[in-house]
Structure 1
């Protein structure tokens, strides 16, 4: 079976698709090596917010470090799917009103058990690609193109 090329998605397209994902992947550096963890996530105030339980992962994503978040869906039998990647600085959320608001957005049990921390990934660069379509459009956005009204805190 020959693979089709991946087409770039525009903002509206990748936002619609990523909201259907049930989990995503956090990509970061741990002890100078790449690491990837499954995470529960939400869009909140124009950024990705994830829940973290592991103190080592929290330390690796703290102090404004650059991380990536990726969500996707792929069906190789149908040669269809999509992938969206967000790259930005990670910030641990510590303000009580924000934590209270986020706790209502993350109402279901988390991936991997109890989650003690919320980490915000600033949406500085986004790339979205889709397999199984022919139309091509621009898919990379800067942080200045995102406003609180554009990404509404829900998935």
Structure 2
């Protein structure tokens, strides 16, 4: 018999901690006036999400300074546990030479062949997170007590 599940709302620090542990998420943006969702590998950089793109609609969203959403999660369908974090903010191309040097040399290598010469930052304007856990298990603990949204 199952004890039931609880939904825990996560604060900003908890969301950032969880995002540090995964490398793939989903970018939600507008393409041809319609919503589009694509999986992307990413890294957190100064608490913002950074992706590396070849061009096309993802770069166009950044060049147009569009509001986009980014979502990452880890779920266990059998245990009905896991977490989900969503970041909403304006996408912008990274053009500062010092920032590009730092990003190019440290992380965010493409998964597939081909050039990905553009870095896109999603400014974290709003962040929300939830954890699904079995009732009675300890809650997520963090030393920071930021609000759920920022």
Which bracket does the TM-score occupy, shorter chain normalised? 0.7 to 0.9
CA positional deviation for 1:98: 0.9
Q: Which residue does 1:76 correspond to in 2?
A: 77
TM-score, scaled to structure 1: 0.79
Q: Which residue does 2:112 correspond to in 1?
A: 112
The DSSP-based 3-state class of the residue aligned with 1:132 is strand
Structure 1 residues not aligned, in runs of 5+:
143-155
The DSSP-based 3-state class of the residue aligned with 1:21 is coil
* 1:62 paired to 2:63: yes
For residues 18 and 128 of structure 2, the distance between their equivalents in structure 1, rounded to whole angstroms, comes to 12
Contact in 2 for aligned 1:126/1:139 (Cα 8 Å):
no
For residues 15 and 46 of structure 1, the distance between their equivalents in structure 2, rounded to whole angstroms, comes to 7
Q: Between Structure 1 and Structure 2, which shows a larger proportion of strand residues?
A: 2
For residues 115 and 85 of structure 1, the distance between their equivalents in structure 2, rounded to whole angstroms, comes to 24
TM-score, scaled to structure 2: 0.82
CA positional deviation for 1:72: 0.5
Structure 2 residues not aligned, in runs of 5+:
none
The DSSP-based 3-state class of the residue aligned with 2:35 is strand
For residues 16 and 69 of structure 1, the distance between their equivalents in structure 2, rounded to whole angstroms, comes to 16
CA positional deviation for 1:141: 2.3
* Alpha-carbon RMSD: 2.4
The DSSP-based 3-state class of the residue aligned with 1:141 is coil
Contact in 1 for aligned 2:23/2:43 (Cα 8 Å):
no
